[in-house]
Amino acid sequence: MTTIYVDNIAPNLQSKVSAPNLTLPTGSVIQVVQAKLTSTPTTNSTSFVDTGLSVTITPTSSSSKILVMADYGAGSNNSSNGMITQLVRGSTSLFYRGDSYSSSGGVFGAGSFSHLDSPATTSAVTYKIQFLSQGSTTTMSFNPTYNGYVSPTSHLTVMEIAG
């Protein structure tokens, strides 16, 4: 006969069975949603425009945090101006940053960020990335190809974290 000794039994978080009294420890990942973009939008607008990279998540609790992570390429056709990107929740700008600038001609680079958000809702929330050119004479590329490498892919990943 075999004896099994257990100090603690944890719930099966992969189970689809509803457990109304199940409380996850703070910091537990509840769900993950990811979007990807394989096109290369461009702009010379000095106002923010959508890149086409967006993701929607519906938090299960209003106390949850949403961890937003992104990776993408950035490029410009000359060195006169820079590219600015911003993360938007719904219509609210969460932050913006410079991603591409060079003093020696056109430039290509990689951008990435992470941001911990507290939307305080159980309604669907959409996160998206927008971008602009600092000058209308410079065309900025989001997710550009470079030197014939033709598989640009950027990602926007959101994770609901138990609060």
Domain range summary for the chain, segments of one domain joined by +: 40-161
Give the pLDDT of residue 17.
47
Question: What is the rounded average pLDDT for all residues in the chain?
Answer: 86
Cβ neighbours of residue 144 under 8 Å, at least 6 residues apart? Answer: 40, 73, 74, 75, 108, 152
CATH of domain 40-161: 2.60.120.1340
Of the listed ranges 38-42, 92-96, 101-105, 122-126, the least confidently predicted one is 101-105
Q: Kind and range of the H or E element at 93?
A: strand 92-100
Q: What percent of the chain has pLDDT over 70?
A: 83
Give CA–CA dist 5/33, Å, rounded.
37
How wide is the angle at C-alpha 51 spanned by C-alphas 53 and 72, nearest 5°?
65
- Work out the pLDDT band at 110, boundaries 50, 70, 90: confident
Give the pLDDT of residue 111.
86
Give CA–CA dist 14/29, Å, rounded.
11
Provide mean pLDDT across the span 33-38.
96
Q: What is the pLDDT of residues 38-53, one digit of tens each?
A: 999 999 999 999 999 9
Check whether 116 has a pLDDT greater than 80: yes
Give the pLDDT of residue 20.
54
Secondary structure of residue 100 in the 3-state scheme: strand
Burial of 76 (0-12, 13-18, 19+ CB in 10 A): buried
Give CA–CA dist 53/16, Å, rounded.
29
Q: Which residue did the predictor score with more confidence, 161 or 15?
A: 161
Cβ neighbours of residue 137 under 8 Å, at least 6 residues apart? Answer: 44, 78, 80, 81
Give the pLDDT of residue 101.
60
Give the pLDDT of residue 99.
76
Give the pLDDT of residue 138.
86
In 3D, which of 52, 45, 46, 55 has the Cα closest to residue 143?
52
